[in-house]
Structure 1
């Protein structure tokens, strides 16, 4: 474990440029040994009505479905793009509804003044960079130096972990380092040949964050997760490590009189949820005392020797619309009548293809359900999976990950899928300038969404399941395309964490997107066999998306997972500060959803911190 050393108080801070103007051409800060070279350095100041944590947006603005405005709808400034990106990231991850508890029971939404440092980082051998960004609050104490390091959840942009790592780390006076882990919202418009610059603004040339190499398509949209050719998931751990290294360099720049900042003198905590949680566990494999501890929530993680999550995703895309007919009282949305009609149609198609058995819809649905049960999916996870089914997330995820695993460029998808902007009538077409201007701030990193469509190039009335079956074959077949995909899946499998590194993993037992039985259950057992120091919190009545608790039916059934992330970080931090305080222990947590009442801490049944 790293040793935190007390240092003399800071004598003088680095002078800020007026208004936080870009300093991309400034000299690079002092480097630590073997640290990567970071390009396109920028430094900006964020105080007053443009702070680090909420970009000057109050709780009412964060709750509003109306995005912060651009003065010029087609050409937002860097400040406007950043503010909207932070608004979108908060809304996509956290439950901010009145009575939901964020800011009262857990977390903070208080304004945090400070500075941001950002750059491009590159994994050796990768064709494209990933973004790294460090927030340094004015409250940072160089005598008690600490750095929280996080990867974005899902495939989100650089602010995709701000509601977790930012809210906790900045409130503790720590610097917070982020990476988009090679995914993110750096969409590229193939028609207009326009991409995104380091500051989030649009450009057709220069140091863009992502430009697809020799795309086979000249129309539509390319994005980094699907079309970089780098299989970013294979390097998520190294992305997180580079974010840590960038954080140390940024602190050297922010406090030159207290430099160098190193892992031996700076307390470091790795944090992430969903794909970000997977990145945390992959970083735990890396040799060296880079991190003092890790906290991973609902991690997307697969282990060698077990079916990968891609296999379940493609199975769910095919079977779940039919299998959901076996479940009563599904959470809303999606609307039950629409889901039932789509499910009945899917059952008939599957039966005709020989993929389920039965002479009637009810029997066919039971056949589909049994196949998912055999894969390890519980009834609770199936019920929560209704959202992903109703909103076509399974197919979107499968298309993107198949492209990434196989390293297929834009226009090369073996199942004929592509992405396009939505024209005014909703059909594929060139992107309007005002739509293109929103992508970096609002894109999830996996379309469809934000005016980008997923287009099935092989759609055929005589075989409506052709595309889905093709996606499934890529994970199971023996053709050259399938071998490419399976090779990428193998590259992304987790290895054992290094011994002695404290790790806390938590997961909702009702997770319908990243089922706990196929991810955390397997990883924890695998890691413990390798001698890992790991605690496992299993949370009943928690599903994957805290933001869905904005819907009344969801908050009547489920509790948010983020309070447990904050509690685990608190307990781990207390142990790092005072080893007499015990690390978290295993817990099966049985909370009570709040329904329409304000959330109370006692309803969450958070495991109590212990002393040794």
Structure 2
């Protein structure tokens, strides 16, 4: 129990002494990391609300997005509504039969259509040593129970803005009557149009004025003018170009969001003294705090738990976390009777640049070419064949035919990079959506703390036309960027441009590489990113020299800054991950973190790991034929993880042991998903399903 200070006793008794001044922690004060004003809005749960922006469950499921009355001048409320609509649907499968409305959704388990009345507080904050603003938000439902206060963290997934976790941690927390604290973790849209100098304010309004904005590239007018003269109509993007490596501070962003949450709660519910001050009556020692979210947001909450020296967090429940564990080869990973994996814990940029380089060719491998969902629709075979030819000419794949070369590319990914075969069928779809390509470009810039003017690997960001040529972004599209962008182009009309493509700067996907004179998805640029990740030329293995070596060293330093220690400080934690995750391969994320945590915290660790069969990273894809019939929603198991953590912290129920959960696909989109497809995490799983540590090996059942 924490000691009670004299000032706290005096305040509780209603008396005041001069010793209890503004600097005393007994009084509620706006944290000094908050910049500028705090925007506060009330939502009645009828015309507008915290969770669905007034759309309700049916509105979120509708294929028709909410429109702006004036497309060029949307209101703040319209921008917020579209942002919530897009961010919810980006992570949750709302298609009929996939579980929405029956197994999960804002209206499941509650009365009404899922609208949640309450208050929302939005602000910008900073972390020491970084000038780049970070968005923070607190939602307090009207149902918040001041006698049993609780809080859930909701850092955004991916590079999304502050509403990026609205449908995941946000929904679960609000329905549990908890305050939910969000942060964009220094990512978010933050789009700066270098041509007109427009950027977004805190609520998404466009401005070219010198006022607080989400992000504006730190260029003088002269520097910006010079850049525009050579590279017109380009954008700077916050995650890629802030020169801040925001991931290095994700843990601090989450912890600060919790502190801001306590400030908001005490402003609302703290005891009001006669002099107008508020006592801190809602505090870490009487408030349940669960660190949560998915993907990048899950990784941010893990970092927060590792860095939590104040005891703000009680437990962790995350899904498919983007976590880069410290490399510890004293343990190995083995699935079933398969090969022992020792080369685990590769960094995000390492395995992602490998996917960017090889997957376009691997898509044509006979083993997956015709089985992978939407492969031919998203990946024109001619482009894949060109990629294979370019790789073969550079000695990066072997084989006399495209089939042989593609098979070798697939082998390289599975064997040399320990990417699970279960991920092979979804990887082509992700390549077609430019997932690895966009991550490689964004994170190479972020890790090296490069600016937009550096144009790493001759890549930039701009709108493009049907031929791939750079054009100005349409004004209506720019007005909607705050609401429509996922924070990592290609997104919302802005694409990755290869400035050194043959002929002219061209959309990367349509680019002809100078070294091959082939339309091979700008492979030269992707190989450049790969070289920065591995510190050597991919073709020859020779170490980089000169400026390239310095840039690669900067990338390596940035990666070192984001490595997770595996020390959760004894906090109970639950990870759920889909074995078929084709964005964050499990042999480099969740699995090695579990092994590292065991090395650090020993058998007394509170971490439990649930690996879900037939589940993957982006549930929204389950609405497509060939995907939804093969895979189940991981979202369901994420909410189960939160439920298990809640029961553990509030009722003392033990967390089930680590295990493989054998979810069953529905087989046909005509068959609605039912609970029978989603077996629960068991308190006493069969021995054949247990994930265990044996000596220096993490053993995962098939």
Normalising to structure 2: TM-score of the pair?
0.80
Paired position in structure 2 for 1:607: 681
Indicate conservation of the 8 Å contact 2:57/2:105, yes or no: no
1:288-307 → structure 2 map (5 Å cutoff):
288-305=310-327, 306-307=345-346
Shift of 1:610: 7.7
What is the CA–CA distance in structure 1 between the aligned matches of 2:636 and 2:647, rounded to whole Å? 17
1:343 to 374, 384, 404: 384
Q: CA deviation at 1:339?
A: 4.3
Per-residue displacement from partner, 1:429-480 (whole Å, max 9, x unpaired)?
Answer: 2223211111000101001121112110122343242111110111122411
Q: How does 1:363-442 map to 2 (within 5 A)?
A: 363-373=404-414, 374-422=416-464, 427-442=469-484
Q: Which is higher, the Rg of structure 1 or of structure 2?
A: 2
Q: Is the 8 A contact 1:509 1:542 kept in 2?
A: yes
Unaligned 5+ runs, structure 2: 4-25, 108-113, 272-278, 328-344, 503-511, 516-521, 536-543, 686-702
Distance 1:358 1:334 in 2: 22
Alignment map for 1:575-594 (pairs within 5 Å): 575-579=648-652, 581-594=653-666
Shift of 1:383: 1.7
Q: Confirm or deny: 8 A CA contact 2:291 2:315 kept in the other structure.
A: yes
Unmatched 5+ stretches in structure 1 = 4-28
- Compute the displacement of 1:502 (Å): 0.6
Query: Which one of the candidate residues 278, 281, 296 is aligned to 2:302?
Result: 281
What is the distance in 1 between the residues matched to 2:56 and 2:638? 23
Equivalent residue in structure 1 for 2:213, among 208, 216, 220: 208
Instruction: Give, in angstroms, the shift of residue 546 of structure 1.
Output: 0.5
Equivalent residue for 1:453? 495
Q: 1:51 to 1:30 in 2, by over 3 A?
A: farther
8 Å CA contact retained: 2:154, 2:181: yes
The Cα shift of 1:35 comes to 6.4
Task: Summarize deviations over 1:399-439 as a string: whole Å, max 9, x none.
Answer: 11101011111121220110013469863222232111110
Normalising by structure 1, we get a TM-score of: 0.91
CA contact (8 A) 1:583 1:610 kept: no
Distance 2:612 2:404 in 1: 32
Q: Which residue does the alignment assign to 1:230?
A: 244
**Post-superposition CA distance 1:328-355 (Å, at most 9, x none):** 3433224369443332221111000111
Q: What is the CA–CA distance in structure 1 between the aligned matches of 2:79 and 2:242, rounded to whole Å?
A: 23
SS of aligned partner of 1:284: helix
Q: CA deviation at 1:67?
A: 2.1
DSSP 3-state at the match of 1:552: coil
Could you tell me which of 598, 607, 619 is aligned with 1:546? 619
The secondary structure found in structure 1 opposite 2:81 is helix
Is 1:261 aligned to residue 282 of structure 2?
Answer: yes
Report what 1:536 is aligned to: 609
Equivalenced residue count is 585
Asked if the contact 1:179–1:243 (Cα under 8 Å) also holds between the matched residues in 2, the reply is yes
Aligned to 2:180: 176
- C-alpha contact 2:373 2:426 (8 A) present in aligned 1: no
Name the CA distance, whole Å, in 1 between partners of 2:485 and 2:407: 37
- 1:68-111 deviation digits (Å, cap 9, x = unpaired): 11111111111000000000011101011112213321342411
CA drift at 1:384 = 1.3
Taking a change above 3 Å as real, the CA distance of residues 496 and 136 of structure 1, as seen in their structure-2 partners, is same
Q: Counterpart in 2 of 1:316?
A: 355
Q: For residue 462 of structure 2, give the secondary structure of its aligned residue in structure 1.
A: strand
Partner in structure 2 of residue 6 of structure 1: none
SS in 2 for 1:276: helix
Q: Secondary structure at the match of 1:347?
A: helix
Indicate the residue corresponding to 1:16 in structure 2. none
Per mean C-alpha deviation after superposition, the further-off stretch among 196-205 and 177-186 is 196-205
Does residue 129 of structure 2 align to residue 140 of structure 1? Answer: no
Which whole-Å CA distance do the structure 1 matches of 2:434 and 2:650 have between them? 45
Q: Is the contact made by 1:179 and 1:240 (CA closer than 8 Å) also made in structure 2?
A: yes
Matched ranges for 1:64-213 at <5 A: 64-109=62-107, 110-205=114-209, 206-213=211-218
Higher deviation after alignment, 327-336 or 393-402 = 327-336
1:480-524, Cα deviation, whole Å (9 max, x unpaired): 111111111111111122332011111110111111111111111
Deviation at 1:365, TM superposition (A): 1.8
2:534 paired residue among 476, 480, 492: 476
- What is the deviation of 1:180? 0.4
Bigger Cα displacement from structure 2, 421-430 vs 215-224: 421-430
| 8 Å CA contact 2:372, 2:426 repeated in 1 | yes
Larger deviation, residues 539-548 vs 98-107: 98-107
Query: What value does the CA root-mean-square deviation take over the aligned residues?
Result: 2.2
Quote the Cα distance in structure 2 between the aligned partners of 1:609 and 1:254: 39
